[in-house]
Amino acid sequence: MPRLEEPVRPGSVVGGYRVDKPLGAGGYGQVFLASRDGGPCALKFLHLERVGEWGWRELLILMSHEFPYVVTLRGHFKWPEEAPEFLVLVMEYVPGVTLFQWAQDTNPSARELVEKLLPLSWALEAVHAAGVLHRDLKGDNVLVRDPDGAPVLVDFGAGFLPHAPPATREVLAPANLRYRSPESVSFLLRRLGEPGARYEYAVSDEMYALGVLLYVLATGVYPFEGPEDELMAEIVAGRLRSPRERNSRVPPALCELCLHLLAREPQARVPDAGTLSEALEKLLEDARGDSAWDMPLCYGWTADGLSTEHLPELADKNTPEWMRRWVHRKPRRGKPPPPPPAESPSLPEPSTVKSEPPTRSRKGWLAFVLMTGLGLAGVGVGLGQLAPSPSRAPAPVGWEWMPFPPDESSLLGPMPWAVHDHEVAPPWKPLEADPGAAPPRADTPASVTIVMLRTENPRMKKKKIGSMGTNALLAVTAAANVACPGVQVRKDPPPEACPVGAVETMTVKLGLPLGRMSRNAGFAHFPDWEKRKPVPVRDGPIVLDLAGNWRVWGGFPARDPGPIALPDKTRLLGRLFIGEKYVYGRITQAIIPSGDTLNVCLIIREDGIARGVPIRSDSEEAKVFPIVELETVDRFE
Residue 370 predicted with pLDDT over 50:
no
Residues 78 and 57 in one domain: yes
Highest mean pLDDT among 206-220, 232-246, 379-393: 206-220
Residues 244 and 210 in one domain: yes
The arithmetic mean of pLDDT across residues 435-463, rounded, is 34
Of residues 464, 446, 447, the one with CA closest to residue 455:
464
DSSP 8-state symbol, 348:
P
Instruction: List the CATH number of the domain containing 613.
Output: 2.40.128
Residues 469 and 584 in one domain: no
The arithmetic mean of pLDDT across residues 588-616, rounded, is 84
H or E element in which residue 145 lies: strand 142-145
Residues 182 and 266 in one domain: yes
The arithmetic mean of pLDDT across residues 13-27, rounded, is 86
In a domain, 73, yes or no: yes
Residue 386 predicted with pLDDT over 60:
no
pLDDT of 622 = 87
Q: Mean of the per-residue pLDDT values for the chain?
A: 74
In a domain, 8, yes or no: no
Which residues, in sequence order, are CB contacts of 317 under 8 Å at separation 6+?
Answer: none
> What is the percent of the chain where pLDDT is above 90?
36
Q: How many domains does the chain have?
A: 4
Q: Name the pairing type of β-strands 540-546 and 522-525.
A: antiparallel
In a domain, 366, yes or no: yes
End residue of a domain, out of 91, 121, 138: 91
In a domain, 585, yes or no: yes
The arithmetic mean of pLDDT across residues 222-241, rounded, is 89
Residues 511 and 545 in one domain: yes
Residues 65 and 199 in one domain: no
Looking at per-residue pLDDT, the higher value among 538 and 139 belongs to 139
The distance of Cα 393 from the centroid of its chain, to the nearest Å, equals: 37
Q: Is 562 left (phi over 0), alpha (psi -120 to 50) or beta?
A: left
Looking at per-residue pLDDT, the higher value among 388 and 61 belongs to 61
Within a 10 A sphere around the Cβ of 100, how many other Cβ atoms?
23
Number of residues that this document lists for the chain: 637
Residue 422 predicted with pLDDT over 90:
no
Instruction: List the CATH number of the domain containing 58.
Output: 3.30.200.20
Q: How confident is the model at residue 398 (pLDDT cuts 50, 70, 90)?
A: very low
> Domain range for residue 240?
96-294
Pair 523, 627: CB distance under 8 Å: yes
End residue of a domain, out of 59, 91, 123: 91
In a domain, 342, yes or no: no
Residues 481 and 619 in one domain: no
In a domain, 353, yes or no: no
Q: How confident is the model at residue 9 (pLDDT cuts 50, 70, 90)?
A: confident
C-alpha distances in Å from residue 176, one per residue of 38, 162, 275, 356, 435: 36, 23, 25, 53, 8
**What are residue 90's DSSP bridge partners?**
43, 75
Residue 343 predicted with pLDDT over 60:
no
Residues 472 and 506 in one domain: no
The arithmetic mean of pLDDT across residues 537-542, rounded, is 84
Of residues 276, 295, 302, 151, the one with CA closest to residue 209:
276
Residues 240 and 212 in one domain: yes
Residues 123 and 197 in one domain: yes
In a domain, 339, yes or no: no
44 labelled ligand-binding? yes
The arithmetic mean of pLDDT across residues 294-308, rounded, is 66
Residues 101 and 87 in one domain: no
Kindly report, residue by residue over 492-535, the tens digit of the pLDDT: 788 989 988 899 999 999 988 888 654 567 888 887 776 678 88
Kindly report, residue by residue over 234-260, the tens digit of the pLDDT: 999 888 999 999 999 999 999 999 999
End residue of a domain, out of 91, 123, 152: 91
Looking at per-residue pLDDT, the higher value among 127 and 487 belongs to 127
In a domain, 352, yes or no: no
Q: pTM for this one?
A: 0.60
Q: How confident is the model at residue 439 (pLDDT cuts 50, 70, 90)?
A: very low
Residues 384 and 253 in one domain: no
